[in-house]
Amino acid sequence: MYVSANLIWLAVALPLAGFLINGALSIWRPGAKTAVSIVGPAVLLGAFAVVALIFRSFAAANLGTPQVVPLWTWLPVGALRIELSLLVDQLSLVMLLVITGVGSLIHLFSVGYMRSDPGYARYFAYLNLFVVFMLMLVLGSSLPVLFIGWEGVGLCSYLLIGFWYGDKANADAGKKAFLVNRIGDFGFMVAMFIIWATLGSLNFLDIAELAPQHLAAGGAVVTTITLFLFLGCTGKSAQIPLYVWLPDAMAGPTPVSALIHAATMVTAGVYLVARTNILFAMAPVSSTVVAGIGALTALFAATIGLRQYDIKKVLAYSTVSQLGYMFLAVGTGAYVAGVFHLVTHAFFKALLFLGAGSVIHSMHHAYHATHSHEDAQDMRNMGGLRRAMPWTFALMAIATLAIAGIPPFAGFFSKDETLAAAFARGAEIPVFRLFWLFGVIAAALTAFYMARLMAMTFFGENRTGAEEQKHLHEAPLIMTVPLAVLGVLSAVGGWLNLPALFGGQARLEHWLDPVIEGAHHYFPLEMPHGQTEFILIGLAIVIGVGGLVAGWRVTMARPILPARDAAPEVGFWKVLYHKYYVDELYAALVVRPLLRLSDRVLWKDVDQGLIDRGGVEGTARLASSLGWIGTRLQTGQVGVYLTVFLVGALGIFFVVMG
């Protein structure tokens, strides 16, 4: 059955309908949880079905030409004509499958996880709207349409991260995410202005055609454009220096963390670089910056993950680190490897977050039952949970092996391809060998802290408490089934781009080739072959296994005390625990000076002094004074009026004549 790409609007319309229905229920029938439980996941499953059918038809018809689906004219302003249209091609279809597929599983998990929350309908309304904007982001045929989705997911992230807004910390986390992303968005907008000024179009297909004609490869203009685009990416995809919002985003419900961190928002920057690959390929300096920031972020975030105790915080810094790998790949010119790791990361990271959600759900239940006020997210309060939660343990173990890069799990193939590409680029640009080394060390640290997470959570003696242990249990079926599906995908997801060395056909590479073939001309990359390839693969396996073993042995070498009894961190561990004090540094150098500027100068001097007292009140006083003068002149004597008239007339005469 052939399904036309013109029906892609249905994939957006279905979650939009879910938002409207659930939004209405949250206002007029907030207690209608059964209806919300059906509508929320159903619209995502419907969107996934639409995308899957279009994908099948697209592949069966062997369509190499992108399909543009026009909806209506949005902004006709002079020479600028922006159509609200959707772009269906190989890259957007891959992203759509990830967003709607993994998004559907997260929605199903949320039914069980959020069931008792009084804001249940509001939660699903926000979640549905988030997916709407993410779909617009990847389907936009032009930069302005993509920007709608870009800003929309930013707005929804603010609503979801601060979902429990009654808690000030949660509200502050939402505001922090919103404000930090605005810094990156400034760069995005500047890039759009320059592209319009130089190419006369903001459509992706036009940019791919016009850029080689009007921009000089390696020139200042294309370098400036791509650096500003990447500034936008550092905000949305949490790279140095704008990564600080993402760990705080853990304040939201755990399924929100899975949706934001795994399949949607944070990958938007990687998608943007892959979508505008021709521009980055023409700007080798910018590509080097992208790869360098990615490699540095991967290493930096991995070191922080070594000493976090909040299970969600560990996974948050893991996300920042894995996003660094994606940027290392696309900055190297291995755009397929970047997208490949984006896909596999969506599988195993969603599984890790949802598995952590199951653990937290059980811990909360246990502490609530015993009226305890211990931290349900602190791994020091867990231990031995594999006995109470065997399914969650087994599935999170699969995800751990995947993220650690252990074959044959999904993360091994995508991470190995990224590191191999960086090593190969180093033969041409030596600094890439340093980036490769950063990636290798980060891979070892990733395996280490994931082994630490599993050991502290599922092994050893249970530290929850004697009474609390009685209430620990496996998550309900509605939460476990999505974990099982993600477990299968985390195990076999690497087959999507299985290289010939392992008997595969590199299907994803061939699938995405029409989207990135233009970039190969400007930034070609020859991947390692033969003995070098075998050495790199062997090194990757040794690093992954070694990191897991080291993490396990170090963690289990001494007894783990509950959080309330644990000694404070000292030395370098304290620095890692406090995340290198980056938040404190930003607060001292940026936040507090800006607050003082706003309070003392902009508010008190400019607003109150200049505008209020000088402008508004001054104008009132001037009018009053002029009125008083006018009353003094109103004497009722004709002679006075005649004298004033003559004096004014003579004054005008002398001014004109003089």
**Structural contact between residues 36 and 124, judged by C-beta atoms closer than 8 angstroms:** yes
User: Of 331, 239, 295, 288, nearest to 437 (Cα)?
Assistant: 295
Q: Which pair of tokens denotes residue 348? A: 């195993």
Distance CA(361)–CA(256), nearest Å, equals 14
Q: Which of 324-338, 441-455, 466-480, 613-627 has the lowest mean pLDDT?
A: 613-627
Q: Residue for token digits 């006709």?
A: 76
Q: What is the DSSP string of 114-155?
A: STT-TTHHHHHHHHHHHHHHHHHHHHBSBHHHHHHHHHHHHH
The pLDDT, as a whole number, for residue 253 is 87
The residue ranking higher by pLDDT, 484 or 587, is 484
Judge contact between 122 and 166, C-beta under 8 A: no
CA quadruple 476, 482, 488, 491: dihedral sign: negative
How does pLDDT run across 406-419, given as a tens digit for each residue? 999 999 999 999 99
Q: Pull the structure tokens for residue 538.
A: 């062997």
Helix 268-275 with 220-236: angle, nearest 10 deg: 160
Residues 580, 574: Cα–Cα separation, whole Å: 9
pLDDT 10s digits, 162-179: 888 877 877 888 888 888
Q: Give 373's pLDDT tier (boundaries 50, 70, 90).
A: confident
With a cut of 60, say whether residue 1 has pLDDT above it. Answer: no
Q: What is the pLDDT of residue 636?
A: 67
Q: Give how far the C-alpha of residue 3 lies from the chain's centroid of Cα atoms, to the nearest Å.
A: 31
Answer yes or no: pTM beyond 0.85.
yes
Sequence-distant (≥ 6) Cβ neighbours of residue 275 within 8 angstroms:
91, 146, 204
What are the φ and ψ backbone dihedral angles of 326, each rounded to 5 degrees?
-60, -40
Residue that wins the pLDDT comparison between 132 and 653: 132
Q: Is pLDDT above 70 for 645?
A: yes
pLDDT digits (tens, 9 = 90+) for 109-124: 999 888 888 889 999 9
pLDDT value of position 181: 86
| pLDDT score at 589 | 85
Under 8 Å between Cβ of 229 and 207: no
Instruction: Report the percent of the chain where pLDDT is more than 70.
Output: 96
What digits encode the pLDDT tens for the residues 173-197? 888 888 888 889 999 999 999 999 9
pLDDT of residue 658: 63
DSSP category for residue 371: T
Length of the chain: 658
Q: Which two tokens stand for residue 219?
A: 């020139």
The region of weakest confidence among 340-349, 519-528, 627-636 is 627-636
Cβ neighbours of residue 456 closer than 8 Å, sequence gap 6 or more: 379, 380, 382, 383, 555, 560
pLDDT digits (tens, 9 = 90+) for 531-579: 888 888 899 999 999 999 999 999 998 888 888 888 888 889 999 999 9
599: pLDDT confidence band, cut at 50, 70 and 90? confident
Of the candidates 489, 486, 481, 488, the one whose C-alpha atom is nearest the C-alpha of residue 111 is 481
